[in-house]
Amino acid sequence: MKTLNEVLESGLHGLYYGNRILLPFRADILKAIIENDIIMDFSSNSVGGEYNVYDDFTEIYFYEYKDISEDVTEFETIKLILVEFGEDIFDFKNHRKIALHVKEHHKLEIEELNNDILLIE
Amino acid sequence: MKPKIVTFFSGVVVFLFSNAAIFAQEAAGQATGVAHHALPETYTVIPFILLLLLIATGPLFFHHFWEHHYPKIAMLLGLTVVIYYLAVMHDTHSLLHTLAEYLSFIALLSSLFVASGGILIKVDKKSTPMLNAVILFFGAVIANIIGTTGASMLLIRPFIKINRNRIKPYHIIFFIFLISNIGGALTPIGDPPLFLGFLRGVDFFWFIEHIWYIWLPTVLFLILIFIMIDSRNKGEENGEENFSGKIELKGLKNLGYLLIILISVFLDPAVLSWVPSLEPLPFGIREIIMFAVVYASYKTADREILKANEFDFEPIKEVAYLFIGIFATMVPALQLIAHEANVLGNRLDAGIFYWSTGLLSGFLDNAPTYLNFLSAAMGKFGLDINVTQHVKDFAAMHPLYLQAVSVGAVYFGAMSYIGNGPNFMVKSITERAGVKMPSFFAYMIKYSIPILIPTFLIIWLIFYYGAG
């Protein structure tokens, strides 16, 4: 299992298939923004989104989208606020902001958000 | 499905071009004010009403269906009216005139949208009510130079970023009030309705000359209310954060593109006699320059700035598709309203035009609403909106009516998210930044009705009550 820092440093990518994305690290998702949808309720399995943490990866489903590659265009991103698994979720310093760029061949480029891209917690 | 519709629509456009000779004859008739056609049947406004209702409700109640199918819906509704005019009324003149107007409209909006999307402003200052007030006033002013769309696109991200530690929905709502709407009441570039008025023959500087004394107190009054609300917001204490006070502007070459757009607005044979007319083509030199700016400003834009602005063609694509439908379906509505106003005559005063233009602009789109009521106000005096000289005469002889319609269309565009194009764009950018915005109805109940309606009432009492 890789940490988020290792993933960012080595430039590892995630994957997407339809409305499901796979991230190569383990994390608790606090907030997800895709298009105009701000998803914070991950409790339901019929609307908004759902995420599951496995031994080697984290998966997220976006129920309102059939295929994210059709909705997220070249300069757009899926934005996440997350806490790496095992970190203290109550410490704001552990809240990480990442952007996912949808690329070809089901690849998701993972990038830590810089100050230019807006994401309000 | 989509390619078939596009092919069909292209076919109609080709058909219109093939009737260019008829258009040329009728254009000659228009110059003398004799291009008149029979009135369409009342039921022909149904596609227009249906489209506007769908625009209002689609994004709210069936968001994903609407997002995927709005181009087909808008085009199909537009086509029903186009076919009616071709097959039943044999009126190609109205359609070609509308096509020319649409191309001018979308050329301006898309060029402002793309050029401003390649500019990035960074302001590293601490958020204070006074700084926010200065930004809102600055935005209201530049909305008249780069349009409410351009000013909104340019300033919304720095505005959110400055307020990141204390941002609340009211920040964005006042931004929509002032920069996305009311600010742009002074020039035809400011807001699409006024640009449509300019295309019909209203002088470029007419608006600033006749509206500034309503604009300035309205803007200052709303900023005062904003300061009172914002002063109570202490936000998060963030002592660790240091602010350099620096203001950084990236993508300077796009300011040059904005200047080109601004200059090209005047490149119209009706404004400058030396500008060649490309008739019977439904566009001119101005539109060619504006579309060239769209291409050049996107191709030469700094990719990092586009990425930082999360630039996406979707908002302008949406406007382009929807307005094909709006422009086509509103043709019979325009003609019928002008006729009705002619019949109703003296019963309509400036106040009625202010409220009726305004209230409809708040919930329908303000650009076609403006044309409808300008047409109606002119009809009251037996003037035809399709005749440029009539529009000029109307602006000179009945400025109160033109002012009431212009102020109503621009100001009331702030009443709801659907009142003006930039409103939705600002909401969308804000939500993509993670800030939850009020729903369609909450926007009105919490903000626009309690703040804007009293403001608009004061304007009516001072300027239009018992006048005209």
Residue B188 binned pLDDT confidence (cut-offs 50, 70, 90): very high
Is residue B194 pLDDT above 60, yes or no?
yes
DSSP state of B437: P
Q: How confident is the model at residue B468 (pLDDT cuts 50, 70, 90)?
A: low
In a domain, B384, yes or no: yes
pLDDT confidence of residue B29? 38
Question: Which residue, chain included where needed, has tokens 């920040």?
Answer: B171
With CB atoms and an 8 Å threshold, state whether A73 touches B434.
no
Q: Domain for residue B392, yes or no?
A: yes
Read off the pLDDT of residues A44-80 as tens digits, 9 standing for 90 and up: 666 788 899 999 999 999 988 888 888 887 778 899 9
- Residues B310-367 have pLDDT tens digits of 788 877 888 888 889 988 998 898 788 777 766 776 678 899 999 989 988 887 667 7
Taking a C-beta distance cutoff of 8 angstroms, is the pair B122, B209 a contact? no
Do the beta carbons of residue B414 and residue B423 sit within 8 Å?
yes
**Minimal C-alpha gap between B28 and chain A (Å):** 46
pLDDT at B143 > cutoff 50: yes
pTM: 0.80
Q: What proportions of chain B, in percent to the nearest 5, are helix, strand and coil?
A: 75, 0, 25
Burial classification of residue B205, based on how many CB atoms lie within 10 Å of its CB (0-12 exposed, 13-18 middle, 19 or more buried): exposed
Q: What is the pLDDT of residue B10?
A: 40
Predicted pLDDT at B240: 62
User: Is position B278 within any domain?
Assistant: yes
Q: Give the pLDDT of residue B345.
A: 62
Q: Which residues of A touch B122 (CB under 8 A)?
A: 116
The residue of chain A with its CA nearest to that of B157 is: A118
For residue B56, the enclosing domain spans 40-118+192-201+250-464
How many domains in chain B? 1
Q: Is the per-residue pLDDT at B32 higher than 60?
A: no
Alpha-carbon gap, residue B356 to B411, rounded angstroms: 12
Q: Which residues pair with A84 in a beta bridge?
A: A27
pLDDT given at position A94: 92
pLDDT in tens, B66-84: 888 899 999 999 999 999 9
Kindly state whether residue B419 falls inside one of the protein's structural domains: yes
Which residue from A36, A64, A118 is facing B157, i.e. has the nearest CB? A118
Short-list A95, A105, A84, CA closest to A23 = A84
Q: What value does the mean pLDDT of chain B take?
A: 85
- B181 assigned to some structural domain: no
Distance between CA atoms of residues B152 and B181, nearest Å: 9
Q: How many Cα atoms sit within 13 Å of B393 on the Cβ side? A: 14
Of the given ranges (A111-120, B145-154, B186-195, B222-231), which has the lowest mean pLDDT? A111-120
The answer to whether residue B139 sits within a structural domain is: no
Mean pLDDT to the nearest integer, A18-23: 94
In chain B, the residue whose alpha carbon lies closest to the alpha carbon of A34 is B432
- Chain B residues near any Cβ of chain A (below 8 Å): 64, 120, 122, 157, 160-161, 164, 167, 304, 306-314, 427-429, 431-436
Q: Residue B141 domain-assigned? A: no
Q: Using CB atoms, which residue from B160, B311, B434 is nearest to A38?
A: B434
Closest residue in chain B to residue A80, using alpha carbons only: B434
Output the pLDDT for position B19: 40
Region B131-152 average pLDDT: 94
DSSP annotation of B118: T
B429 is a domain residue: yes
Q: Please answer yes or no on whether B312 and A76 come within 8 Å at the CB atom.
A: yes
Residues of A in contact with B428 (CB under 8 A): 36
Q: Do A77 and B310 touch (CB under 8 A)?
A: yes
Q: How many Cβ pairs within 8 Å bridge chains A and B? A: 58
Distance in angstroms (rounded) separating the CA atoms of residues B405 and B394:
12
Whether the CB-CB separation of B186 and B207 falls below 8 Å is answered with yes
Task: Mark yes or no for CB contact A31/B434 under 8 Å.
Answer: yes
Residue B15: predicted pLDDT: 36
| Beta carbons of A75 and B309 less than 8 Å apart | yes
